[in-house]
Structures are given as structure tokens and as C-alpha cells.
Structure 1
Amino acid sequence: MKKILIAILLVFALITFSFPDSALAAGDATNGGKLFAANCNACHMGGKNVVKQEKTLKKEALEKYGMYSAAAIIEQVTNGKPPMPAFRGRLKAQQIEDVAAYVLQQADKW
């Protein structure tokens, strides 16, 4: 019984940690791209950051600043963090998830 439990836990751990958070993002990246173009491009066109140049949306920068996950991006977009405004109230929760999925999808390309 103990061996079966260990095997199940091992399989669960492998599945959980084998997929990056970007693959598990529940949002619609296509819709997120449209929302990003309408709401985020002014400061983040092409994955850049016109206010804080080092904090781009490129994968390396997102990882460096602890933002390479859907949860972290959703938190940032929802609540903002100066100088970035909060989008709670402007965008619905599902729209913010879509933006997060788009950012994670694009992070390697920017």
C-alpha cells in the first residue's frame, strides 16, 4: 500500500512540475492579445516597458522579478503596482486571465 501511495505521489509531482505555468494558464491567449493591444500596448508594446526599461515582459525579466506565472501576472494586472495602474473594474477577471495567458505565450518571443 505504501509503495502505491508513493508511486501516485511521484506521478502527481511529475505532472505538476513538468508543465510550466504558461501551459497551465486558463486564459484565452487570442482574446488576451486583443485585450493587451487595447489596454497594455501604450506601455508594453512589443513586450517592452516604457516606464521601467529593465522590467520588460520578456521571459528572462519575468523570471528575474518573480512574474513568470499566470498567478503573478493576474495579481499585477488586477491590483496594479505603481506606476502600473490596477485594471480591476476595467477588465473582468476572465479578461485578466486572458491577458496573462497572452503575456506568458509571448514572453519567449519578445
Structure 2
Amino acid sequence: MIGKTHLKKLLTATLLILTLAFVEIGSTPQTALADTATKPATAAEVFSANCAGCHINGSNIIRRGKNLKQKALKKYKMDSIANIANLVTNGKNIMPSYKDRLSEQQIIDVAAYVLSQAETDWK
């Protein structure tokens, strides 16, 4: 027959093992989330978070003619990565500057994204 002292030790050890197992299981998703959080955002994600408020689907909710469609980009000489990146970096008129919000690489990536989307008419 098992004594009360032995039973208490067995129960304590079992609870300790279960607690450690649950702690380990619970920490695995957080590690996975931490790995995901350190991935750099894609150009589409950066555009969606910073540009789509005014330029959803390549449009321009403030000045319709100055949209991000290929025809308008050519008309306003914004049909190169360098020119778009310059505008995003420095802003112009109502278009704000993003040099303090986005890295240089993010700006270049977004400029390339805008050109590629314009080529497919934002589809």
C-alpha cells in the first residue's frame, strides 16, 4: 500500500511535469510569432499600410488625374523607379514625404511595386 507521503510526492512530481510540459507547449507559438515579426514587410504590405489610403488600386482619392495608372505616370514623368522614389522620399504639394517613415529600401521597393502594378493596370 502507498503511504500518504509517497502519494503526495508522486502527485507533486506529476503536477510539476505537467506544468513544465504546458509551459513548453505554450511557448512554441510565441517563438514562431517572434520569427514572423522580424520578417521585413513586402512592398505590397508597405504600400497597403502607407499609400493605399489615398492610392487604393492605383487611384488617387484626392486628385483623380494624378493616379498611379501607367498613362498618368508617363504624363507626369513618374515612369521610373528613381522618379517615384524621389517623390515618395521628398513629397510634393499635397503628397507627403515618407523619408522619416520608410527606409530607403522600402521606398525603392514600393516604387518598383507601383510600376509593376501600373503595367498590369492594378489587377
The alignment status of 1:91 with 2:102, answered yes or no, reads yes
TM-score normalised according to structure 2 size = 0.64
Correspondence for 1:34 among 45, 67, 71: 45
**Aligned partners of 1:31, 1:100: CA distance in 2, in Å?**
12
- Report Cα offsets for 1:32-79 as digits up to 9, x if no partner: 111000000100000000111001100111001100000100000000
1:36-55 aligned at under 5 Å gives the runs: 36-55=47-66
1:1-110 aligned at under 5 Å gives the runs: 31-108=42-119, 109-110=121-122
Following TM superposition, by how much is the alpha carbon of 1:100 offset from its aligned partner in structure 2, in angstroms?
Answer: 0.5
User: Identity of paired residues, percent?
Assistant: 51
Larger radius of gyration between Structure 1 and Structure 2: 2
- Report Cα offsets for 1:71-95 as digits up to 9, x if no partner: 1000000000110100001000000
**Aligned partners of 1:86, 1:54: CA distance in 2, in Å?**
20
Q: How many residues align?
A: 81
* Structure 1 unaligned residues grouped into runs of 5+: 1-29
**Aligned partners of 1:54, 1:103: CA distance in 2, in Å?**
16
Q: CA RMSD in A?
A: 1.1
**Aligned partners of 1:80, 1:49: CA distance in 2, in Å?**
15
**Aligned partners of 2:43, 2:92: CA distance in 1, in Å?**
20
Query: Could you say what secondary structure the match of 1:107 adopts?
Result: helix
**Aligned partners of 2:116, 2:45: CA distance in 1, in Å?**
13
Higher RCO (C-alpha 8 Å, min separation 6):
1
TM-score normalised according to structure 1 size = 0.71
**Aligned partners of 2:42, 2:111: CA distance in 1, in Å?**
11
